Amino acid sequence: MTESSGPEEQAFTPRDDDFAPLRWRSGTLYLIDQDQLPARTVWLSCTSVDDVIRAIRDRRIRGTAIGCAAAYAVAMAARAAVAQTPLPSPLELRREIDGVIARIGGPQPTPLIFWALAQMRNTGRIAEGARDPYMLADALEARAVAVHAEDVGRCRRIGHNGAALVPIGAAVLTVGNAGALASGGHGTALGILRTARAEGRQPRVVVCETRPFLLGSRLTAWELMREGFDVTIIPDGAAAAVLRRGDIGCVIVGADRVAANGDVVGHVGTYAVALAASAAQVPFYVAAGAAALDLELAHGGDAAIEERDGSDLLTIGEALIAPRDAISRYPIQDVTPAALVSALVTDTGVARAPFTRAMPALD
């Protein structure tokens, strides 16, 4: 991977007025370097499958953007293969591609990567009968672009389904970054805000800074402010007080997984805001693609939650913000019980309690 100031302006991006954190141009995948935001806007260019695998492993991309990147990596592998001498046969190319897919997915691919790679594998199978390997490589590239466009399309449908929930002129509180930066473009929770804004609802946005990685202040504030949203950043601990004093019309957050009973597994901090919203009788909405619905997960409590154990909380930049030998250990996700969720907004519709009955219709 190398850094650059980014692809030229005419680079592929789903729609001009929407930010996409990954762009495909002439066989190179450009990823915005989220670690450097908001101080610098730097694009990482991935020119090989290994570059993409490294970017995924190092968490340089998040959310459904990971699936899009995985699809582009397969297209990249196909392009590289047909540039070789001797030219592989369509069958040889498909075997090569299957190997690459296994490598990207790893032993336990996340649902997002799994879905994207299944699309690519199917495309490879269908196009195997193609007369020449170039056609197969072209089909795989077209499919990767389609995987990306479908992801943006899902976000747009989430936005369309959820926009009417945003009271006109209201302040909407959000946690983390369920935005364009965590998707192919448009975003889930922030997609609803974008669509609501496009519909003239003039939402103002109150963003929890969302420690430890400051996804709210670094990323959500950045992507909304560049589009002219009215954004106010608050400390995570202030959300409850701000909700209690009646400033907020509704809360909209994203989700990593939604269990069959409607429990929401999301970025740590989500549950605390859900409790505060409930106490203040402010609606709490969860936005997620249908792919995040996990009907095999009966309850959120059954989800495996990663425990972080490291130095995330000890320094920011050069500044030491805790004793050097302090221990920090915390769950990186939390579970919001379905009882605190006013509605779940997906690309296929809006579900309200009882979720056990409403959710299968969305799947």
Return the range that interacts with its own copies (CB under 8 A); candidates 70-78, 81-89, 139-147, 320-328: 320-328
Check residue 43 for interaction with its own copies (CB under 8 A): no
Check residue 329 for interaction with its own copies (CB under 8 A): yes
Structure tokens at 341: 């969720």
Q: Which neighbouring-strand residues pair with 44?
A: 3, 31
Give least dist CB 78 to its own copies, A. 39
Toward its own copies, which CB reaches closer, 4 or 232? 232
301 residue type, one letter? G
Check residue 319 for interaction with its own copies (CB under 8 A): yes
Check residue 335 for interaction with its own copies (CB under 8 A): yes
**Binding letters toward its own copies, positions 3-42, x by CB under 8 A:** -----------------------------------xx---
**Binding letters toward its own copies, positions 190-219, x by CB under 8 A:** ------------------xxxxx-x--xx-
DSSP state, residue 14: S
DSSP-derived pairing of the beta strands 171-174 and 204-208: parallel
Structure tokens at 98: 């299957």
Toward its own copies, which CB reaches closer, 144 or 239? 239
Burial call 250-282: b when 16+ CB within 10 Å, e when fewer: bbbbbbbbbbbbbbbbbbbbbbbbbbbbbebeb
Active site residue 256: yes
Angle between helix axes 65-82 and 90-105 (nearest 10 degrees) is 150
Check residue 354 for interaction with its own copies (CB under 8 A): no
Toward its own copies, which CB reaches closer, 74 or 277? 277
Q: Which of 256, 263, 334, 347 is catalytic?
A: 256
Toward its own copies, which CB reaches closer, 131 or 324? 324
What is the SS3 assignment for 283? Answer: coil
**Binding letters toward its own copies, positions 216-255, x by CB under 8 A:** -xx--xx--x-----xxxxxxxxxxxx-xx----------
Check residue 76 for interaction with its own copies (CB under 8 A): no
What is the SS3 assignment for 85? Answer: coil
Please, what sign has the CA dihedral across residues 259, 262, 263, 268?
positive
191 residue type, one letter? G
Name the CA dihedral angle for 249, 253, 257, 263, rounded to a multiple of 10 degrees: -30
Toward its own copies, which CB reaches closer, 174 or 346? 174
CB contact at 8 A, 263 and 132 = no
How many residues bind to its own copies according to rule CB under 8 A?
Answer: 56
Of residues 23, 1, 27, 36, the one with CA closest to residue 68:
23
Question: In the range 255-314, which residues lie near its own copies by CB under 8 A?
Answer: 268-272, 275-276, 279, 313-314
Binds its own copies (CB under 8 A): choice among 59, 83, 322, 357: 322
Task: State yes or no: cis peptide before 167, omega within 30 of 0.
Answer: no
Return the range that interacts with its own copies (CB under 8 A); candidates 78-86, 113-121, 129-137, 330-338: 330-338
Check residue 126 for interaction with its own copies (CB under 8 A): no
Give least dist CB 238 to its own copies, A. 4
Q: Which helix (H) or strand (E) holds 279?
A: helix 270-279
Q: Residue 140 and residue 145: Cα distance in Å, rounded?
A: 9
The site for its own copies (CB under 8 A) is made up of 38-39, 175, 208-212, 214, 217-218, 221-222, 225, 231-242, 244-245, 268-272, 275-276, 279, 313-314, 316-331, 334-335
Catalytic residues: 256
